[in-house]
Structure 1
Amino acid sequence: METLKIKTENPKTKKAKLKISGAEAIIHCLLAEGVDLLYGYPGGAIMPVYDELYKFQDRLTHILSRHEQGATHAAQGYARVTGKVGVAMATSGPGATNLVTGLADAQIDSTPLVCITGQVPRHLLGSDAFQETDIIGISTPVTKWNAQITKASEIPEVMAKAFYIARSGRPGPVLVDITKNAQFDEFEFSYEKCTAVRSYEPYPKPEENAIASAAELINAAKRPFIIWGQGVILGQAEEELKALVEKAGIPAAWTIMGASALDSDHPLNVGMVGMHGNYGPNLLTNECDLLIAIGMRFDDRVTGNLDTYAKQAKVIHFEIDPAEINKNVHADVAVLGDSKNSLQQLLPLIKNNNHDGWLSEFKEKYRIEFDTLISKDLNPTKEGLTMGEVIKEINQASKNEAVIVSDVGQHQMIACRYAKFKHTKSNITSGGLGTMGFALPAAIGAKMGAMDREVVAIIGDGGYQMTIQELGIIFQHQVPVKIVVLNNDHLGMVRQWQELFFERRYASTVMVNPDFVKIAEGYHIESNRVSERKDLKAAVEEMIASDKPYFLEVRVEKEDNVFPMIPSGASVSDIRLK
């Protein structure tokens, strides 16, 4: 493994050294990085660290997940709502491998995590010892960086680097694997935070020529269109985005990871792009003359067929990760840098403008979508409950103030389409990896990170059962998170594809579900079930008004589909309303 040279905050000063065990050193490293909450599951290879953690309970709260994957998702939810680094810990072997899904999810969704795993003693490495796995080799493709510690003296430097890499630039997950001998051995401990790593440039400086070229294109454009992603939130550039949109009068749409960076009701917020995004912004992507992408990576679920995506438009790409520039869509102007810094430099060069005629086209397309689809989703006349009307009631009961944590599937797309947000960091979902089972533990982590905010998990009956055991955290710690399971007795999104593209052959998508209310009651969580429209509003209001954990099952229509929809591999212009 490459050894990288570290620059420290105080290279000329040395703190008083204290001889302690590697296990205790791990705890001191966490405290030095401002960690006060972590999730995990103990086991033999990490037991020395847990023994030390026991002694620091007054300063460092450990939450016992019921599965290591749940620990990673809870840490993700905490990180996404706070902007801090989430921390998860597990033992070697199966404990470590159970972290991999969460690592992969955090990697593609740019979530800062530090995961700590125990490992067999150094002399047993490579011997197929009990519960030994090569977690470094396994996790390399799904981490921003990883490292194995085999000597106690390596702990401070590696841990400092881990937190710096996880949180800096485009954030991501880091894994640190620590052999058991390194946890027991003693050494003279001192700790200095990492502030730079050789050859790693997390904050590239935007080039003045690129900024000037971007401004020139924006000022000259007749039909400009902004699509922003999570990079705006990660870069804390929400105010700069709003200022650009308003000064230049440009319609702006969002990817699901970018939702909540701009108020849902802002007049220039024209909706969501992507496979199940809004009709107007998807269709008009192929009619704009300038496409301004800010902190988004042109994911295939956003672009559809790349051969037909925005070919008529000039493209400006504001992006912090050079690997994303020209990866999927060619940029006529690439502005490499942190979104906040880049937009701050751009704004003085932008002329006051409006594009009311162009904006009216988005409004007209929205009217078509509303008359054809949205009104039926939110104000249905059919007998069965729709997912959309449930989200509408949650919006009203929470006054658009809630953090919405969604799982993966039809309910996710409905939640992202119809949830209303007033504040940033309010939409938490598994975007790039699409991890079923994400929402329940992520909502727990989000609530623990933002106890002053209402946190509502929107989950399907399939994904809910993948991490249902994490109800144990809610019961043990009385985490007042609200859980809404939209139950259609199917793996809804897969069933939709089977209906549309596989001649209704519903292979392994029908769910025979347990009594979810009784399960919640088994964890002593207040619960309710709704199957009729007349009971929905009161049930949602009761849930939101509660100051305790609450579970609500809503029985929705079994064969209701999510539209609009861009068929896989089709052009954004081929978006279907039914």
Structure 2
Amino acid sequence: MQLTGSEIIIECLKEQGVDTVFGYPGGTILNVYDALYKHSDEITHILTSHEQGAAHAADGYARATGKVGVCMATSGPGATNLVTGIATAYMDSVPVVAITANVAVNLLGKDTFQEVDIAGITMPITKHNYIVKDVTKLADTIRAAFIIAKSGRPGPVLVDVTKDVTANTTEYTAKTPESVLPVTDRIREEDLETAVSMIQESKKPFLYVGGGAVISEAWQELREFAHKADCPVTDSLMGKGAFDGNDPLYTGMLGMHGTKTSNYGVTQCDLLITVGARFSDRVTGNAKKFAEHAKVLQLDVDPAEINKNVRTHASVIGDVKVVLQKLNQRLEQQDHSQWLAEINGMKEKFPLHYDDSRLTGPYVIEKIYEVTGGDALICTEVGQHQMWAAQFYKYSRPRTLLTSGGLGTMGYGLGASLGAKMGRKDKTVFNIAGDGCFRMNMNEIATATRYNIPVIQVVLNNHVLGMVRQWQTLFYGQRYSATVLNDAVDFVKLAEAMGAKAYRVTKKEELEPVLKEAMELNIPVVIDCQIDCDDKVFPMVAPGAAISECFAEEDLNKKDFG
């Protein structure tokens, strides 16, 4: 049948099973929005307050559901406002398809009103991107975008469509979406045998879990593997929930704000088994001193990650769910009881702790865990609150922590929480923010109230840029340059002005009833929690130091930070 390009875009979205799109209209994309209007009973469109919010919402939808998230924007500033969200998805391997419209083909390259080369701009931060100038190629391009976004190591794909293509007509034939199969062609028997031998020969193995284990849905295989290998387990920020945070083998997060047990244990281990992790600098600290006594066995779908940041002694390339299945078939039950006893001794000696005499960030996180029974989706912004959310909430299932790990995007969480709630309406969704992050995209509270998306926004309000201030305190002689936010902004009044229910919490005893009421209301809620400006995240590894040099607050007097 003959359809316009705009109608083809909508039909292709329906083919792919897309039920929700996040976006913001404008002149060049009007034809697409007109077609979308006619299918509003099949595809829900969420009009965000800003295009960046749309990109983050698509990202949050994808992370929470495992499906491809979709966002749309018009040309020029509409498209460029998606860039930060696209880069966030790229760094964390999130499958997103961003559809933008551009000026007509005959106006390209002429500095036309709201013209920008968005394909060129996003080339370094997309898995692939397209500019469609021929309507006959549109359907196949969109189909390819979805396949690329979700295959192998996922990532964002941008499809830029010129305005004349959205109006032109061509023959359209519906197609069933191609199945995307796990990547297994590089899994070699000799690599599996080497991996099993390394595990069997190891006396002190340690399992390090990254976001790839979440993406590949490998949590069941991972838990079987960990118990077969009989080894302690740590994770990255992105790997949270792939391994149960309540499991006795779990030692907490690794790296700059990881536990002493994980950092010391990885430093002392003789084999580091890495599943779907890329050895970020925030994990390794001084890479030359990272796991320096260990052989490194890396399991990853992306061969480019092997030997990129840390020298690898052996690797198995392929979808980690399939790799773990094959290893579990070959690996006999191991016994590392002596090593585990040593690790458990560290866990007892170096527990996470905080001042429980007053309202603090860790207390708020623990209370959220308690009142939700650990069964919520937790989104975060970036900073101290993000680290507290990683440390003090126990994630027992994958896709329950949504956070910007690689890019570290302030302003990510609120948009992501809207997308997560749209994708998982059965879940309670919290967004944890600092006041600095909340200011970035707090206008998305208006989006939440417009559609009654019942997210609970918790602001850990210390009236400063907390993580930057922490660094200024420790490493910059307490020179608080441009990090004090002690002004007259009232988040409760702002939230109420945007139509949300809002609370201010200043004491510990006020928090639990507010959290319970917020969950019962089932409407957008903002909770402004007033905490001290000098609360810090510990443990910590100083920049450039080895993770074995991690320190806690009680160690400060023993350190010279320069």
Letter in 2 for 1:130: F
Q: Do residues 376 (structure 1) and 350 (structure 2) align?
A: no
Q: Secondary structure at the match of 1:375?
A: coil
Q: Secondary structure at the match of 1:71?
A: helix
Aligned counterpart in structure 1 of residue 280 of structure 2, from 267, 284, 299? 299
Q: Secondary structure at the match of 2:304?
A: helix
Q: Do residues 343 (structure 1) and 324 (structure 2) align?
A: yes
Shift of 1:165: 0.1
Name the CA distance, whole Å, in 1 between partners of 2:172 and 2:367.
Answer: 55
Name the CA distance, whole Å, in 2 between partners of 1:514 and 1:488.
Answer: 12
Q: Which residue of 2 aligns with 1:240?
A: 221
Q: Deviations over 1:46-91 (max 9, x none)?
A: 1100011111111111100111000000011100010000000000
Aligned counterpart in structure 1 of residue 27 of structure 2, from 37, 44, 47? 44
Q: Do residues 388 (structure 1) and 341 (structure 2) align?
A: no
Task: Indicate if the aligned counterparts of 1:247 and 1:351 stay in contact, CA closer than 8 A.
Answer: yes
Q: How does 1:552-563 map to 2 (within 5 A)?
A: 552-563=527-538
Q: Which residue of 1 aligns with 2:522?
A: 547
Shift of 1:362: 2.3
Letter in 1 for 2:506: S
Letter in 1 for 2:496: E
Shift of 1:174: 0.2
Give the TM-score normalised by structure 1: 0.94
Shift of 1:513: 5.0
Q: Deviations over 1:267-295 (max 9, x none)?
A: 11111102101111112211100000000
Unaligned runs of 5+ in 1: 1-17
Q: Which residue of 2 aligns with 1:567?
A: 542
Letter in 2 for 1:238: W
Letter in 2 for 1:376: Y
Q: Do residues 19 (structure 1) and 19 (structure 2) align?
A: no
Task: Indicate if the aligned counterparts of 2:473 and 2:479 stay in contact, CA closer than 8 A.
Answer: yes
Q: Which residue of 1 aligns with 2:96?
A: 113
Q: Deviations over 1:446-470 (max 9, x none)?
A: 1111111111110010010110111
Name the CA distance, whole Å, in 1 between partners of 2:191 and 2:469.
Answer: 46
Q: Which residue of 2 aligns with 1:66?
A: 49
Q: Deviations over 1:159-210 (max 9, x none)?
A: 010000001111000000000010111111124356499xx99554311100
Q: Which residue of 1 aligns with 2:381?
A: 407
Name the CA distance, whole Å, in 2 between partners of 1:546 and 1:424.
Answer: 27
Q: Secondary structure at the match of 1:422?
A: coil
Task: Indicate if the aligned counterparts of 2:16 and 2:177 stay in contact, CA closer than 8 A.
Answer: no
Name the CA distance, whole Å, in 2 between partners of 1:533 and 1:237.
Answer: 38
Aligned counterpart in structure 2 of residue 170 of structure 1, from 137, 153, 156? 153
Q: CA RMSD in A?
A: 1.5
Letter in 2 for 1:37: T
Q: Which residue of 1 aligns with 2:254?
A: 273
Q: Which residue of 1 aligns with 2:238?
A: 257
Classify 1:143/1:507 alpha carbon distance in 2 versus 1 (closer, same or farther; 3 Å). Answer: same
Q: Which residue of 2 aligns with 1:5?
A: none
Q: Which residue of 2 aligns with 1:487?
A: 461
Aligned counterpart in structure 2 of residue 225 of structure 1, from 206, 210, 229? 206
Letter in 2 for 1:322: P
Q: Secondary structure at the match of 1:466?
A: helix
Shift of 1:309: 0.9
Q: Do residues 518 (structure 1) and 493 (structure 2) align?
A: yes
Name the CA distance, whole Å, in 2 between partners of 1:191 and 1:288.
Answer: 55
Name the CA distance, whole Å, in 1 between partners of 2:185 and 2:343.
Answer: 35
Name the CA distance, whole Å, in 1 between partners of 2:287 and 2:14.
Answer: 47
Shift of 1:233: 1.1
Q: Do residues 136 (structure 1) and 140 (structure 2) align?
A: no
Task: Indicate if the aligned counterparts of 1:162 and 1:176 stay in contact, CA closer than 8 A.
Answer: yes
Aligned counterpart in structure 2 of residue 123 of structure 1, from 101, 106, 111? 106
Letter in 1 for 2:435: D
Letter in 2 for 1:329: V
Number of residue pairs the alignment of both structures matches: 552
Q: How does 1:71-110 map to 2 (within 5 A)?
A: 71-110=54-93
Q: Deviations over 1:514-542 (max 9, x none)?
A: 11111111122111111112212222222
Name the CA distance, whole Å, in 2 between partners of 1:435 and 1:557.
Answer: 23
Shift of 1:438: 0.4
Shift of 1:397: 0.4
Letter in 2 for 1:530: V
Task: Indicate if the aligned counterparts of 2:445 and 2:524 stay in contact, CA closer than 8 A.
Answer: no
Shift of 1:361: 2.5
Name the CA distance, whole Å, in 2 between partners of 1:153 and 1:395.
Answer: 52
Task: Indicate if the aligned counterparts of 1:232 and 1:294 stay in contact, CA closer than 8 A.
Answer: yes
Q: Do residues 476 (structure 1) and 454 (structure 2) align?
A: no
Bigger mean CA deviation after superposition, 345-354 or 207-216:
345-354
Task: Indicate if the aligned counterparts of 2:454 and 2:523 stay in contact, CA closer than 8 A.
Answer: yes
Q: How does 1:280-291 map to 2 (within 5 A)?
A: 280-291=261-272
Task: Indicate if the aligned counterparts of 1:160 and 1:192 stay in contact, CA closer than 8 A.
Answer: no
Q: Do residues 34 (structure 1) and 8 (structure 2) align?
A: no
Name the CA distance, whole Å, in 2 between partners of 1:453 and 1:492.
Answer: 29
Give the TM-score normalised by structure 2: 0.96
Q: Do residues 57 (structure 1) and 32 (structure 2) align?
A: no
Letter in 1 for 2:481: A
Name the CA distance, whole Å, in 1 between partners of 2:514 and 2:349.
Answer: 32
Name the CA distance, whole Å, in 2 between partners of 1:190 and 1:446.
Answer: 32
Name the CA distance, whole Å, in 1 between partners of 2:83 and 2:166.
Answer: 23
Q: Which residue of 2 aligns with 1:460?
A: 434
Shift of 1:45: 0.8
Name the CA distance, whole Å, in 2 between partners of 1:376 and 1:90.
Answer: 44
Name the CA distance, whole Å, in 1 between partners of 2:314 and 2:393.
Answer: 33
Q: Which residue of 2 aligns with 1:214?
A: 195
Q: Do residues 576 (structure 1) and 551 (structure 2) align?
A: yes
Q: Do residues 313 (structure 1) and 294 (structure 2) align?
A: yes
Unaligned runs of 5+ in 2: 554-562
Task: Indicate if the aligned counterparts of 2:184 and 2:322 stay in contact, CA closer than 8 A.
Answer: no
Q: Do residues 447 (structure 1) and 428 (structure 2) align?
A: no
Shift of 1:151: 1.2
Q: Which residue of 2 aligns with 1:7?
A: none
Q: How does 1:326-365 map to 2 (within 5 A)?
A: 326-365=307-346
